[in-house]
Amino acid sequence: MANIWVVMAGLWLGGMANSAGAAQAPEWPKVPGAVFAMRDGNPVTPVVALDAKGRDLMAFNCAARGRSLLGRSHELFCDGGSFVATDAGTWIGTQVAKSGMFTFEAMLTPAEVLLKTPGVVLAYGDDQREDAALVQDKSGLSLRLGGVQLIPLFLLDTAKPVHIVIACGKNQWSAYCDGKPCGSGPLADGGPAWGTRQFVMGAAWSGAEPWHGRMEAVAVFPKSLSAADAAAQAAASKLLTSGRKPASSIRFTGTLVRQAKTSELREIRPYTRSLTAAEYKVEKVLAGEWKEPTITVLHWMIMDGKRLSIADREVGAKVQLNVDPLSEHPELESSRRDEMTDGELIIDPYYCESEATTKVTPK
């Protein structure tokens, strides 16, 4: 049985489907025994997510919190928000506690290399305690155990995709970068001691310390993977991303000409997220190609059940945006949106995935 993802009510919900209907892709994970493994958010991609008794979760829910999205390759895009593997945490914790060992794995594309404030990439915790977390800060990647003990791992010096494996045995940790050893050391307290908590991707359990970037091929094992295992996982993960082409992006400066009215929260239920169309006069093209005087862009204006300030901009607002053709973002096919009400059909709208790295200023 394979898990599928369904975009519904603004959340990514999982449901079980026959694996014969899944898209063909390289085998991942290659190493058996994962207690959690999520390749990406594609609706037909299998996922390992188990209930408290070790059975397939029949309705796996990867809950999106805050500004967390699926990217154009269905990767998890953390733009200040995070994802929670709802109901999968109990089995993860009990198996790690039983073995006294664990391994974190992920393919990461950080938004920044040197962070001013720490960002939690992966975490296992709840309101009572954080058992383990993978943290990126100005020094690189670190492993945080028990919420306090910080073990520096290695410098993450690239904004390109990098495959990482952090393996913790009962007495030693080992780190691997793109399948190659990049550090090891002792575990002073004799290995991890996990309770029954939640697995979070992109922030701490509380939502604090958000990490910015993209991730996929995320897995947790209740054992310490070997160097050979790490190399096998890295090779399999790299195959998942091979052949991808960048989006036909345009970067421009412009002025808001008009914007569709964003619906009220009560009007979009059960959705909790919604896009709104905005038209800009293009004043200068900074990158890419665009020859028309105006461009229509879809922005997220309701996110996680909250109306964003961008929804109430006035005409004349000055912007600098990076946008992609909507046609190159298949993950948005089922997303709710508010269009212009003049009846004009926009044939080639664009999509602004994030305003975090661009400028959106008032009039």
**Domain boundaries along the sequence of the chain:** 2-241, 250-360
Q: How many CA atoms lie within 13 A of 87 on its CB side?
A: 17
The predicted-structure confidence for 260-314, as pLDDT tens digits, reads as follows 999 999 999 999 999 999 999 999 999 999 999 999 999 999 999 999 999 999 9
Q: How far apart are CA 307 and CA 301, in angstroms?
A: 6
Q: How far apart are CA 278 and CA 258, in angstroms?
A: 6
Quick one: which H or E segment has residue 233?
helix 227-241
- In CATH terms, is domain 250-360 a member of 2.40.50? yes
Contact 133, 204 (CB under 8 A): yes
From the list 95, 155, 161, the residue with the least C-alpha distance to 124 is 95
Contact 121, 144 (CB under 8 A): no
Among 47-61, 234-248, 262-276, 330-344, the minimum mean pLDDT is found in 330-344
**Residue 234: what residue type?**
A
Output the pTM of the full model. 0.89
Distances (CA, A) of 79 to 42, 112, 229, 340, 356: 19, 12, 31, 27, 8
Task: Say if 2-241 and 250-360 have the same CATH topology.
Answer: no
Mean pLDDT of the chain: 88
Residue 148: both structure tokens together: 């306090």
pLDDT of residue 70: 96
Label residue 13 by pLDDT band (50, 70, 90): very low
pLDDT for residue 53 is more than 60: yes
Label residue 14 by pLDDT band (50, 70, 90): very low
From the list 173, 178, 306, 154, the residue with the least C-alpha distance to 232 is 178
pLDDT of residue 33: 97
The predicted-structure confidence for 110-144, as pLDDT tens digits, reads as follows 998 777 899 999 999 999 999 999 999 888 899 99
Identify the CATH number of the domain defined by range 2-241.
2.60.120.200
pLDDT of residue 20: 32
Contact 320, 266 (CB under 8 A): no
pLDDT of residue 116: 81
The torsion of the CA quartet 303, 209, 14, 27, rounded to 10 degrees, works out to 130
Highest-pLDDT range among 11-15, 39-43, 62-66: 62-66
